[in-house]
Structure 1
Amino acid sequence: MNEKNILTPEEMDILLRSILFAGIRKEDLPHLLSCLKVRKKTYEKGEWIFDSGQKMTHIGLILHGSAKIVRFDFWGNRHIISPLLESDVFGESYAADQSTGMVGIQADERTAVLLMDPDKILSMCQSACSFHARLIRNLVLLLAKRNRILNEKLTVVTQPSLRDKILAYLQAESLRQHRSYFDIPFDRQQLADYLNADRSALSSELSRLKKDGIIDYQKNHFHLIVSKEEFQES
């Protein structure tokens, strides 16, 4: 891990694509970042950005690279909560009240992260900048979005069978990306962890779905040929 506080112009553009900085003008960004006293850190593949059981003191934003939110149960089994891609924000729920994280954040590749003190976000500066007020509003919207994502995962993992879980997940991704051809952010083991399933059982079920003409796939590229509802009606 190394630390460097200078953001490149490309990284500034990535910030503006994030829900947290939506609606903030590019010319206001340097002033806002100075007010927030942000830090930039780079993590290598496999390195923990935050480890489970560690107190989360900062909100993070992926500048480039990718990571995943991971939870380990009592028996050491890994469960992937969600992937983190460029411009995604993490840690806001735990950092807001300085609580101990029940999940870990692990880099999937060399990943640069912007770290922000939540107190600096929630406390207006003396000049009461309008763009700082927008940042606070965006944080509330982000928390609402996070709640929706967790509810969507709950819908997937509570399906009665592995086939139903796979179809529910792929249908949600298809709707989210607005197309029937789409890439998922998981390899097979990660998808198995996300669905709380055995990898070999997942591979077998995917093969059956492909043979039945419901889906097609090549590695992490999928084609949802028949919707879950259409399959159930047939």
Structure 2
Amino acid sequence: MEIQELPHTPLFHGLPSEQLPAILAALEARRRPFAKEELLLQAGHRMTHMGLVLSGCVHIEHLDVWGNKTLLGQAEEGDLFAETYACLPQEPLLVNVTAASDGEALFLSVAHLLQPGPENWRQQMTQNLLRIAARKNLGLARRNLYTAPKTIRGRVTAYFSALAVKNGSLRFSLPFDRQQLADFLGVDRSALSSTLSQMQRDGLLTLGRRTVELHTAPEDFSL
């Protein structure tokens, strides 16, 4: 993504491209390329700048003291990451942000965005940031629904059902590979693979490399 395309992102939505140079200067914008598997942000650090993915993809992960990893989400082109911590710079990061592919991010000062000023773009971007935060809170609430079941099959069923509803189809693409899906659902990869294979044998779904087709829809689906 080129800088002039920023108005197509949720954060810069509604802003004219001719204002971008002044806005980026005011927000101390800096670009940072990254390589796949590079650690961009580390748990324990404190943030003053939020990140916006210009290209590529990053994963938001929690790593406990025993080395167990939980994939909490991902940010793709146009998405923000670490914005909550940048709004609360006294709070240390509880997650790592790791590059899932080669790409580039744009870092922006949240304090400079939220400070009082007469510029119209501040109000517009603050409103945009609030909407983004609300959507992410909804996403976290949904993830709690996916991980609430005690069994792996229950978690898979909850997540795949939500994806089917979101896509309006019983056939959809997965945003994660098998290991990432296991991390996202908080389960062991081999146990997940075994569960998926059994569900396929039971005729509940058909699996592709990154696609799923459900053969039995929950009664409350309205697809």
Tell me, yes or no, whether TM beats 0.5: yes
Distance in 1, matches of 2:99 and 2:144, equals 24
Distance in 2, matches of 1:35 and 1:65, equals 25
2:12 to 2, 7, 21: 21
1:35 aligns with 2:17: no
Distance in 2, matches of 1:105 and 1:151, equals 20
* Aligned-pair identity (%): 32
Aligned to 1:4: none
1:158 aligns with 2:124: no
| Cα distance change on mapping 1:37 and 1:106 into 2, 3 Å | same
1:129 to 116, 119, 132: 119
8 Å Cα contact 2:85-2:92 kept in structure 1: yes
1:51 aligns with 2:42: yes
The one-letter code of the counterpart of 1:63 is: L
Structure 2 unaligned blocks of 5 or more: none
Distance in 1, matches of 2:169 and 2:7, equals 25
| Cα distance change on mapping 1:27 and 1:214 into 2, 3 Å | farther
Aligned to 2:60: 69
What is the 5 A alignment of 1:215-226?
Answer: 215-226=205-216
1:102 aligns with 2:82: no
How many residue pairs get aligned? The number is: 220
Q: TM-score, normalised by structure 1?
A: 0.87
What is the 5 A alignment of 1:109-120?
Answer: 109-120=101-112
What is the 5 A alignment of 1:83-98?
Answer: 83-98=74-89
8 Å Cα contact 1:69-1:105 kept in structure 2: yes
Q: CA deviation at 1:66?
A: 0.6
| Cα distance change on mapping 1:41 and 1:83 into 2, 3 Å | same
Q: CA deviation at 1:209?
A: 1.6
What is the 5 A alignment of 1:180-199?
Answer: 180-199=170-189
Q: CA deviation at 1:11?
A: 4.2
8 Å Cα contact 1:168-1:228 kept in structure 2: no
Query: Partner of 1:76: helix, strand, or coil?
Result: coil
Distance in 1, matches of 2:139 and 2:190, equals 27
8 Å Cα contact 2:48-2:111 kept in structure 1: no
Distance in 2, matches of 1:168 and 1:183, equals 16
1:178 to 168, 174, 178: 168
Deviations 1:177-217 (A, max 9, x none): 33332222211111111111111110111112222222212
Alpha-carbon RMSD across the aligned residues, in angstroms, is: 1.8
| Cα distance change on mapping 1:124 and 1:197 into 2, 3 Å | same
8 Å Cα contact 1:21-1:138 kept in structure 2: yes
Which aligned runs of 4 or more in structure 1 are off by greater than 3 angstroms? 228-231
Deviations 1:25-57 (A, max 9, x none): 223323322221211101111111101111122
1:78 to 55, 59, 69: 69
Aligned to 1:60: 51
8 Å Cα contact 1:50-1:56 kept in structure 2: no
| Cα distance change on mapping 1:220 and 1:96 into 2, 3 Å | same
8 Å Cα contact 2:60-2:73 kept in structure 1: yes
Distance in 2, matches of 1:97 and 1:180, equals 40
